Chain A
Amino acid sequence: MDRRTITLQQIAGILVLAICVSCSGNKSKTITLESEADLTGLTISCGAGNYYEHKYSARPDVTVFACATQADALQAVRQGLADVFVGDEIELTEPNRKRLGVKVAMYGEDSFEVAFGIKKGNTVLLEQFNAFLKTIPIQDIINRWTKDGPQVEDPNIGHTVSSEPLHCVVCNNLEPVSYVGEGGKWMGMDPDILTRFANYLGRPINFSFIDLGGAVTAIQTGQADFMAGNIFVTEERKTFMDFTDYYYICHPVFIVADHDSKVHVGLAERLRMNLVREDRWKLITQGLTETIKITLLSILIGTVLGIGVCSALRSRRNWVRSAIGLYCSFIQGTPTLVLLLIMFYVIFAGSGMSASIVAIITFAFSFASSAGSIFDSSISTVPVGQTEAGLSLGFTPFRTFTGIVMPQALRKGLPLYAGECVKLLQSTSIVGYIAIQDLTRASDLIRSRTFDALIPLLIITIIYFVLAWLIRKLLNLLITRK
């Protein structure tokens, strides 16, 4: 594939994106709700895997539109993809509702206890937390985030007696429950409480954003200590995890698009909102660093492993060839995301290895199989006569290979290899599934704060494009350098 087609593909992608966004205007159908019966015939959006998805999927008269995050589900209402968003009353402050152009249609009658999920059987931590919960002014802390209640001081994070951090997975990225605020810091009610608790124990704490399903697995495998983000205590969940004492009672709220509030923001203001405010550009640069780190290290390790795969593919021994062939077809036949989840939640679960390292290992293995096959086929394209000519001049087989065959194979294989590197760069965008904040995840975080899809996605599209272009350019320099 030459560079021009890539450019066209990317431009086409940006255009499609822009059209999607501009078409997502408001349907001018005003929806009024009196009771749950009025939901008949409507499309309801909610966060995937949460209580509401289960509840309304069971109702044949409504359509459920489940989104990966609550923020996306809310935006679906604004974009006309769904009629009603159902979520927790606490999940959207009044100013944000205004800004987003949505309003509350009705409050539900159910009520839920909200607590933190923790690994089954971890009674020490459970008791420590429950004891701690009794000592703090919990209502003040809640009011601090939900209303302009009595001010409570910011949790003090300096006090540590142990370097063993508390790992916390957050599966809700919405103000005021839990969100990434100024300078990429986790804020909101849940992070506030947990930070106070960590401080109470004298331990540092870190937060990773992950979908609900991933969070449950992380708790079960012990990769995380706490699961936060407006977690309901349900009987079903109690079978596979424990809950702390509840600290809040939550009611459902139904939200619809508010056609009276016309929100129009200029491009400059949108850029400022997505990049400058709360130093959101730092999320992008941090994500970029993570993406580059994972991509480069995977390419480096994968290339070294790929040389091994290539020599195994060219081995004289039949069993070596079939074993490595099996490995390659397994890796190439499995979606990289599935591979990544298997590595993180099965193979390296409980090993204490960081998610980044697991990602690098996974991508390196995946890259090794494709790079190895590319090396193998490029070497095969060099006619055997070249080897014979080198040998007949008096070179050893090794020097014939390195001096004569390899330079020719490199020329043929490098464009394919560069393509594979770009493919790897693109597939690193899935690492958000194992709670790594890469470039794509950074745009998710910004998107769920600003409810603006276009700007963050456009920015990372451009960054990915430039990165891909740089990879090709660098590798091309390698061949022309000679």
Chain B
Amino acid sequence: MTSMLTRKRFLLLLAGYGLLSVVILAGAPFFGSESLGITNITNSIFFHIPHVDTEIFFYQRIPRVLLAFLVGGSLALAGSSLQVVLRNPLAEPFVLGISGAGAVGAVIIISVPGLSIYFGPFSSVQLFSLLGCILCVGAIYWFARSPLGVSMTTILLAGVTINILCGAVIMLVRYIVSPQLLVAMDRWMMGGLDVVGYRELSALLPLLLPGILLLFLQGHSLNQLAFSEEMAMGHGVNVGSVQKQVFLGTGLTTAAAVSLAGPIGFVGLIIPHAVRRLSGVDHRVVLPASFCLGGAFLTLCDLFARTVVAPTEMPVGIITAIIGGPVFFRILLKRSRNM
């Protein structure tokens, strides 16, 4: 894809990705372990005939689909901008240890049942995983901003180390706590989207919306950074400020996503690469397109998770990892061949 991004092309591409999102968002709520009758639902809406299908549709399926979409979109958006700022195609919230740090926060709170309290719509589990994520993003930023530039390989390795450390902390907590708490922990660790109603969903928005907006605004500058940082400065980009805004934006979005859905891996890795293949490397498109495609992808994964082993369901984190692992390897191998 070598043609220049004109306003027309930009709008066309966005319309395409937008349409895909709308189709999936509109279709997904109709599928699940219970098959819903469309006529029952339309009857309820237009003729006020109450039906259990309508209840399921509006109070379970729609919030869940919306959550899947927002979480998938946020993770993919965070991944696509981190890959540019950290100059590494493997960067994404899960690989960098952000999700792991969030998990540590959550697991610690789950291990002390007395601490499970609600602050408005937030549970203490969410708040602590939020804290974990933000600490981790802060640490990565602190590493990355060193003026002579810590090599980005170092940051990736630091992420791996953080992941191992978090794994150790989680095992330690598991070893100490009483066995009946392990189930709750495991469920959280595997990532799931089954926890929500509108209340929890709307509680995410104050974090998600500013984060998403902040990242979307960086698209034009990120192109310059993706090409060359020194050249970007020469062209008039305030590189330091863009980096700061990207870290703040990814911190907000991933923290919000992880705190509610648990660590869901690889969405942030696969989707941005798929988008760049599909519609080029102009980040004015890559960022919103990653959000749309990431959202659509996780919605589909979740759909699969709740239908394939019906009437029970599978944690969605398992599915994204099974798809994402091989993709990660592929990129890794391709990269090592290029070096």
Asked if chains A and B come from one complex, the reply is no
User: What residues of chain A have their CB less than 8 Å away from a CB belonging to chain B?
Assistant: none
